Amino acid sequence: MDVFVARQPIFTKNKTISAYELLFRTGKTNHFPDIDGETATTSILSSSFFTIGIEKIAAGKMAFINFTEDLLLKGTPQLFPQEKLVVEILEDVQPTPEIVETCRQLKEMGYQLALDDFVYSKNFDELLTLSDIIKIDFRNTSSEKLEEMVDALAKYECQLLAEKVETNEEFEQAVSLGFEYFQGYFFAKPEVLQNKDLSASEMTLMQLISQINNEEFDVEKLENLVTRDVSVSYKLLKYLNSSYFGRIQPLSSVRQAISFLGETQFKMFVSLVATSKLAGNKPNELVRLAIIRAHFLEGLATELQKDKNELFLLGLFSLIDAMLDQKMETILRKLPLSDRLTTALRDRDGELFLFLRLVETYESGNWVAFRYAQKKIQIDNDKIIDFYLDALARADSFENTGDESED
């Protein structure tokens, strides 16, 4: 059975990660499947969440998972640990006495409840008293209606989550209205596109990326180049000595790292470190998402016998405009990328763009568009989840290396 699992971040007002909503799809449908409890336990939920593990895919954060009316009434949420799960009740679930009683039991057991795509109605008053989080579609709700709902919900002991927040302006508006949580890709969009120059440190990092991706490969030159930046060499060695690689004998020099990784992987990693430093004042999730995309596409390249470095850089640089708050076209003039990469990133066109479209639709849970890109690329279903989970693990491992050398 084909199962795809993705996640979407949920932020606080400080743009730190509070939780992830887990999205999954099976078969040829584009929604949470309507299945009986036994099948849910032994197939979809088992294969996707028990085998993979909520802890792994949600990176230790709370996990929001959608539940239909049938799944709620059959007690499916109880298959998950209450300290890790937020039970997200889909918008088409009506507050019948049976549903209200089921939710009351879940609350008594310690589960948190969220109402998805909520539109206020007095019929939901009893369910609202049990709910912890109310999710409101920010884009598809008028400003007047938003204010009305915020006022109507003020009397309940629940927090508001703005869904589909796609720009920083929308994020600021939601904060001003009293929302506590935010979901959407506003964090991955540039805030300013004009009248901003790159700082000296940003220019240095851009030069490092340019030099490291030069076609000419010289071990001594690369070693000297990377060693000059203490933070890059520190993070390189700490990452390679992390639990992800499981090395018995630690690496202690940049030259050893080059030997261990090889030319392509070494260039990828230094590009990754330098790019993450460019986003030093941005939400951590922006860097994490770029790293996930890079490793996800690297896995695809390996499977399809494509250029690994090219697809890795496609994912890594896909968010560089948001990192630097500049137009993609302006940034790409400073990077020595191939015409194929430039066309995909700047024009969102060409052969490589299909790979970027694949990873973008996967992470957003747009399964119809994802299926189209998947068929065009011709990648097997069973490989997708492996590449995604490996990318998550590598992103978490990279993030955990920290930057203590700069303290």
Give the model's pLDDT for residue 404: 43
CA distance 305 to 30: 30
Looking only at the bridges linking them, the beta strands covering 133-137 and 181-183 are unpaired
Give the per-residue SS3 of the chain.
Answer: CCEEEEEEEEECCCCCEEEEEEEEEECCCCCCCCCCHHHHHHCHHHHHHHCCCHHHHCCCCEEEEEECHHHHHCCHHHHCCCCCEEEEECCCCCCCHHHHHHHHHHHHCCCEEEECCCCCCHHHHHHHCCCCEEEEECCCCCHHHHHHHHHHHCCCCCEEEEECCCCHHHHHHHHHHCCCEEECCHHHCCCCCCCCCCCHHHHHHHHHHHHHCCCCCCHHHHHHHHHCCHHHHHHHHHHHCCCCCCCCCCCCCHHHHHHHHHHHHHHHHHHHHHHHHHCCCCCHHHHHHHHHHHHHHHHHHHHHCCCHHHHHHHHHHHHHHHHHCCCHHHHHCCCCCCHHHHHHHHHCCCCCHHHHHHHHHHHHCCHHHHHHHHHHHCCCHHHHHHHHHHHHHHHHHHHCCCCHHHC
- Domains of the chain: residue spans and CATH: 3-186 (3.20.20.450), 200-406 (1.10.3210.10)
Q: What are phi and psi of 271, to 5 degrees?
A: -60, -40
Give the model's pLDDT for residue 40: 40
CA distance 355 to 311: 8
Question: Which ranges of the chain have pLDDT less than 70?
Answer: 1-3, 25-52, 192-196, 214-217, 400-407
Give the model's pLDDT for residue 350: 94
Give the model's pLDDT for residue 148: 92
Give the model's pLDDT for residue 43: 47
| pLDDT tens digits, 142-176 | 999 999 999 999 999 999 999 999 999 999 999 99
Give the model's pLDDT for residue 366: 87
| pLDDT tens digits, 254-291 | 888 888 888 888 888 888 888 888 888 889 999 999 99
- Residue pair 289/400 in contact (Cβ under 8 Å)? The answer is no
Give the model's pLDDT for residue 181: 98
Give the model's pLDDT for residue 349: 96
Give the model's pLDDT for residue 25: 65
Q: Calculate ∠ Cα 132-133-137, nearest 5°.
A: 160
